[in-house]
């Protein structure tokens, strides 16, 4: 079992649900959820039809390949080429995932390297942050370092506030632009 599991915190949306339980919103206002970010629109018919067609004959009794269907990866590579003029190989440079948490966690586990007797590597996270940044850092044996996103910078991350000693230990940097929840966009000069 991962020895870092006790470092994890409860998922904030569970706590939010507890805080909201028993409260009734004012009926004269339409609430705007700034919560978990789940889709709020019905699934379009063309997607439902494509899904049904895709499972004809096979059903859902078999797991898909880990890397996803080659046709999907080729379509993604084609889109990246058209949209951003990026040349990527669908065969080994694209990996579809079920959501950002899965991808961010797996990436952190792959790139962070900690060694006994050495200072813990750092993962720089915007603060406020997406909880997976912290959890992925902890479970990879790293320490999260929270970069402030305060009102004095329109809630954009203050990368200049990170001391040089922290940058020297940094193995992974999470950048969220536009930032969540404030929407600040990192200027090109900072990129």
**pLDDT, tens only, 28-74:** 998 777 666 677 789 999 999 988 888 887 767 777 778 888 999 99
Q: Is the pTM of this model over 0.85?
A: no
The end-to-end CA distance of the chain, in Å, is: 38
Q: How many domains does the chain have?
A: 2
130 close to 180: Cβ distance less than 8 angstroms: yes
Give 63-121 pLDDT, tens digit per residue. Answer: 777 888 899 999 999 999 999 999 999 999 999 988 888 899 999 999 999 888 889 99
Report which DSSP code applies to 146: E
Domain assignment of residue 10, yes or no: no
Task: Give, to the nearest 10 degrees, the angle between helix 131-139 and helix 100-111.
Answer: 30
Residues 104 and 73 in one domain: no
Domain that includes residue 77, residue range: 44-96
Residues 78 and 113 in one domain: no
76 close to 96: Cβ distance less than 8 angstroms: yes
- A 10 A CB-CB count for 107 gives 16
Domain assignment of residue 35, yes or no: no
């Amino acid at each position: 079992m991962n020895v870092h599991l006790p470092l994890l915190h409860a998922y904030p949306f569970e706590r939010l649900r507890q805080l909201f339980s028993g409260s009734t919103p004012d009926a004269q206002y339409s609430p705007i959820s700034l919560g978990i970010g789940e889709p709020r629109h019905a699934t379009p018919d063309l997607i439902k039809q494509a899904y049904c067609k895709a499972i004809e004959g096979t059903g859902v009794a078999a797991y898909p390949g880990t890397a996803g269907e080659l046709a999907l990866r080729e379509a993604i590579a084609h889109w990246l080429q058209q949209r951003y003029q990026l040349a990527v190989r669908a065969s080994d440079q694209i990996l579809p995932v079920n959501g950002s948490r899965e991808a961010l966690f797996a990436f952190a586990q792959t790139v962070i390297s900690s060694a006994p007797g050495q200072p813990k590597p750092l993962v720089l996270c915007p603060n406020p942050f997406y909880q997976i940044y912290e959890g992925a850092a902890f479970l990879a044996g790293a320490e999260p370092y929270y970069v402030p996103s305060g009102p004095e910078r329109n809630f954009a991350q203050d990368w200049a506030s990170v001391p040089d000693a922290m940058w020297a230990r940094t193995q992974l940097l999470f950048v969220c632009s536009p930032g969540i929840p404030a929407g600040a966009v990192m200027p090109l000069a900072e990129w």
